[in-house]
Structure 1
Amino acid sequence: MPNTWLTGRFRLDVPLVGAPMAGVGDGRLAAAVSGAGGLGMVGVPPAAPGSWVTEQAAVAAASGRPYGVGLMAWALPANHAQFEAVLAVRPDLVSVSFGDCLPYVGPLREAGIAVAVQAGTTDEARAAERAGVDVVVARGGEGGGHGRADVATLPLLQSVLDAVDVPVLAAGGIATARGLAAVLAAGAEGAWVGTAFLGCSETTAPEAARQRVLDAGETGTAYGRVFDVAQRLDWPPEYGGRALRNTFFDRWAGRETELAADGTAQAELARARREGDFDTACIYAGQAVGLVRRQRTAADVVASFAAAGNLLSRFAAPD
């Protein structure tokens, strides 16, 4: 594998970050990714207490390798205990994305913690650099979970690489060694990968949800705000979510104003989440989900990305 800023800064074997996936990626998955030679991250749900952050950070740190934590900037003003907990446990990397990162970058860096921000447009990448982040994640609209869907990964990555001087990682639609090789060849310092890990037993997703991921095809996702509106979540409207398409999404897409006032639909979704009814409940996943075809361990997934080095070596100059 080529050595990059990412592998050098965090002593990684593979230039790969396991994206922070709130709700399915806790300390166990982060530890598994880090232990395999990538950089695992704990995804922090917006309502999680600071104690949860502390507990899951301890699980992630048990690998003995660097790890990270992903925070949602829009949620921190109402739940500052999350940020205080992160400062106390001092992970190697913290992502503060989807909102105003400026109040948090300075304290994190003063604590010796590297800071990342996920950017869905070139303007967001420039703003993150001005805020003083260590690394920008160019996250294209193909990515699973929340983020912008304004620009696809490849055009966004090219633009961001030209626009900022800090290191850049690529995110969105990268699920195999070929994808990692492609973004490294373009100039990224590594990949930020979530969907590729959704079939792993180390996630907190129930077996039925993992099977839905494995059965999904490349056209099986949809992007929008249906699930956020139904759950009354305060996500900023510019950051919709990409998830597996299901009957609940299809019923309410385009009717979000009506959905916001429908208590029956809210209760239906909450019940489906409890009962594991994924024709109604949400499973966040990106457009690379069609490449996730069988259940593997996180270590197997990380090892598969290492083949990017062989792909890149095809173009190495002869001695």
Structure 2
Amino acid sequence: MTLSTSLCETLGIDHPIVQAPIGSATRPELAAAVSNAGGLGTLAVTWRPPEKAAEFVERTRDLTEAPFGVNIVLDPDAKEVATEDHLDAVLGADVPIVSFSFGDATPYIDHVHDADAKALVTVGSAEEAERVADAGADAIVAQGWEAGGHVQSEVATLPLIPRVDDAVDVPVIAAGGIADGRGVAAVLAAGADGAWLGTRFVATEEAAVDSLYRERIVEADETDTLYSELFDVGWEGMPHRVIRNSTVEDWEKAGRPKSGERPGEGEVIAEYPGGYPIERYGDDLPMEGVEGDLEALALYAGQSSGLTDEIQPAGDVVTELVQETETRIEATASLIE
């Protein structure tokens, strides 16, 4: 038995496992490790200048001959670089796959296709999926409410996947709440053609994060996350899911006050190498090299953190996911006499 779906044929990958673009936690070493293991590695480039985005693509190309992708966030409140500039940079560096999220991707799909690349688009509803599929998207990422990081859906993953599957004729990738082969098998049974995992790949050796962040994911239970708009300095108004920490606890003890009245608001609690400050309630995660009160920063993670109990190389994660999924599918099939 070999785990392969229509998504694999569309993207040129061996297994329907996609590493989500986990913001600043991504780097070429992580994306390449996932792609070399047969999945699809992805780079987040939204918060990098175009020349750095192109450099990330080139560095990843040096580490793998397999397909990989980049993600571009479209919400103007989250970025300082025009989408067109990012697209020109990464397509000029010959990235084979571009995914879009948090905004209207329809104006950019033809641009991607003109460069002989594939376009993936993240959605939160069947209506949105149908619209971007009609615009030419090569695959749809249906993100459920359980997801970590910034979330663009109010629907849970399992109700969302069949709806999106019924609405489009292109491969569907399920995102949100998936961390092991049981979850992959479940979304495949629900109509998805692949699985998109973020939290699980933050807890890998290649992720560009401080060890405290990885350890908090491993220690967390499924009930230890908060869905809110709390960490809004840098990206106002976008809901997200994080692991509860001291910043969350102090805010809740204060009665969950609105922005402008929160405890410690405006306080600098950490800094990047070079001294660039990070405020409490900033949307910055504990990247490798950041110093300060790292535990109090945004610890983005989904409800699947309760299923993540080990820090591993990313390639091993892909291999285990495939094996677990195959085992679960075979076990389920055996229930039919």
TM-score normalised by the chain length of structure 1: 0.90
What is the aligned partner in structure 2 of residue 66 from structure 1?
Answer: 67
Q: Distance in 1 between matches of 2:227 and 2:39?
A: 28
For residue 158 of structure 1, report the CA deviation from its aligned partner. Answer: 1.3
Output one character per residue of 1:61-110: Cα deviation in whole Å (capped at 9) or x when no partner. 22111000011011498413322212212322111110121221110111
- 1:255 pairs with 254, 257, 269, which one? 257
Unaligned runs of 5+ in 2: 271-277, 281-285
What is the aligned partner in structure 1 of residue 310 from structure 2?
Answer: 294
Distance 1:158 1:217, change over 3 A: same
| CA RMSD after TM alignment | 2.3
For residue 263 of structure 1, report the CA deviation from its aligned partner. Answer: 8.4
Q: Distance in 1 between matches of 2:225 and 2:294?
A: 13
User: 2:139 aligned with 1:123, yes or no?
Assistant: no
Count how many residue pairs are aligned between Structure 1 and Structure 2.
312
Of stretches 70-79 and 282-291 in structure 1, the one that deviates more from structure 2 is 70-79
State how 1:199-214 maps to structure 2 within 5 Å.
Answer: 199-214=203-218
- 2:185 pairs with 181, 185, 188, which one? 181
Q: Distance in 2 between matches of 1:26 and 1:194?
A: 13
What is the aligned partner in structure 1 of residue 48 from structure 2?
Answer: 48
Distance 1:297 1:147, change over 3 A: same
Of stretches 304-313 and 15-24 in structure 1, the one that deviates more from structure 2 is 304-313
For residue 120 of structure 1, report the CA deviation from its aligned partner. Answer: 1.4
Q: Distance in 1 between matches of 2:164 and 2:227?
A: 23
Of stretches 175-184 and 157-166 in structure 1, the one that deviates more from structure 2 is 157-166
Q: Is the 8 A contact 1:259 1:265 kept in 2?
A: no
Letter in 1 for 2:166: D
Q: Is the 8 A contact 2:74 2:103 kept in 1?
A: yes
What is the aligned partner in structure 2 of residue 27 from structure 1?
Answer: 28
Unaligned runs of 5+ in 1: none
What is the aligned partner in structure 1 of residue 221 from structure 2?
Answer: 217
Q: Distance in 1 between matches of 2:39 and 2:212?
A: 27
Q: Distance in 1 between matches of 2:144 and 2:94?
A: 28
User: 2:22 aligned with 1:6, yes or no?
Assistant: no
For residue 170 of structure 1, report the CA deviation from its aligned partner. Answer: 0.5
Distance 1:295 1:78, change over 3 A: closer
The alignment-based identity, stated in percent, is: 37
Task: Provide the secondary structure at the position in 2 that maps to 1:95.
Answer: strand
Output one character per residue of 1:121-175: Cα deviation in whole Å (capped at 9) or x when no partner. 2222122223321111110011111123410000011111112222111010110
For residue 276 of structure 1, report the CA deviation from its aligned partner. Answer: 4.3
Letter in 2 for 1:314: A
TM-score normalised by the chain length of structure 2: 0.86
Q: Is the 8 A contact 1:14 1:305 kept in 2?
A: no
User: 2:331 aligned with 1:314, yes or no?
Assistant: yes
State how 1:156-195 maps to structure 2 within 5 Å.
Answer: 156-195=160-199
What is the aligned partner in structure 2 of residue 283 from structure 1?
Answer: 299
